[in-house]
Each structure stands twice: as structure tokens, then as C-alpha cells.
């Protein structure tokens, strides 16, 4: 499995505060993804990156931004946290893009609670 770590693993924050979640991978994977997991919704793509400084939106990107300044790091920022952003966030990374080596490997997740 890919060496992929997320930090923090748990966080409680107040509504309206900014929050940054970190994802670090040691596999030199080109692609990285951020998902959120909520009961009844499965895993929904927030943003993804196909290279350093190259990012694009997923299906639930409103209220989130991302940055990738190095191959190994992908940051997810909630500019002003809301209670609807309480969720478990997963980061994943993989080698390839469309149609080749698409396998993505996941971190352990970050449980975020917005109060």
C-alpha cells in the first residue's frame, strides 16, 4: 500500500473558523484526491490534483479549497467551517490518470467535527 498519512486524525473546531487538513504521501504519486464520507452518501469527491499546482473540482467542492505545492503534499482548507462540513475526510493518491494505473490508495481519514 502507498505510504499516505493524514493529519490531524481528529479535530473539533468552531463554526466560522478556518481549518486545514494535511495529506502526505511517500510514493511519488502524481494524482491525489480529497473525499468526504457521510452516512448514506458513500465517498464524495471534493477536489483532486493531477500534478504540482494542478487541481480541479470534484462533485462537492463548495466551501473547500486545495493546494499542492509539492508532489507529496495535498492540503484541504475549509475557509469558514460550517456544521454541514462535519464529516470524515479521506485523502487518496495514485500513479495514473484516465484509463491507466488508476488505483488510488487511501489514508486513515480525519474525523472533523464543527460545533
**Closer residue to other proteins in complex, CB, 14/53:** 53
- Determine whether 43 is exposed, middle or buried from the number of CB atoms within 10 Å of its CB (0-12, 13-18, 19+): middle
Please work out, in degrees rounded to the nearest 5, the angle formed at the alpha carbon of residue 79 by the alpha carbons of 78 and 81. 60
Least Å distance between CB 92 and other proteins?
8
Instruction: Measure the CA–CA gap between 99 and 68, rounded to whole angstroms.
Output: 23
Residues that bind other proteins (CB under 8 A): 1, 31, 33, 35, 40-45, 48, 50, 56, 58-59, 90, 92, 94, 97-100, 102-109
**Closer residue to other proteins in complex, CB, 15/102:** 102
**Closer residue to other proteins in complex, CB, 31/72:** 31
Amino acid at each position: 500500500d502507498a505510504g499516505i498519512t493524514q493529519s490531524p486524525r481528529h479535530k473539533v473546531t468552531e463554526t466560522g473558523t478556518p481549518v486545514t487538513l494535511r495529506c502526505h504521501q511517500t510514493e511519488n504519486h502524481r494524482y491525489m484526491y480529497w473525499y468526504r464520507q457521510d452516512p448514506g452518501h458513500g465517498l464524495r469527491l471534493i477536489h483532486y490534483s493531477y500534478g504540482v499546482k494542478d487541481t480541479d473540482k470534484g462533485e462537492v467542492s463548495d466551501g473547500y479549497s486545495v493546494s499542492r505545492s509539492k508532489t507529496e503534499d495535498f492540503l484541504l482548507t475549509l475557509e469558514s467551517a460550517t456544521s454541514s462540513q462535519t464529516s470524515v475526510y479521506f485523502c487518496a493518491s495514485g500513479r495514473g490518470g484516465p484509463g491507466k494505473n488508476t488505483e488510488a490508495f487511501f489514508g486513515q481519514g480525519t474525523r472533523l467535527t464543527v460545533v
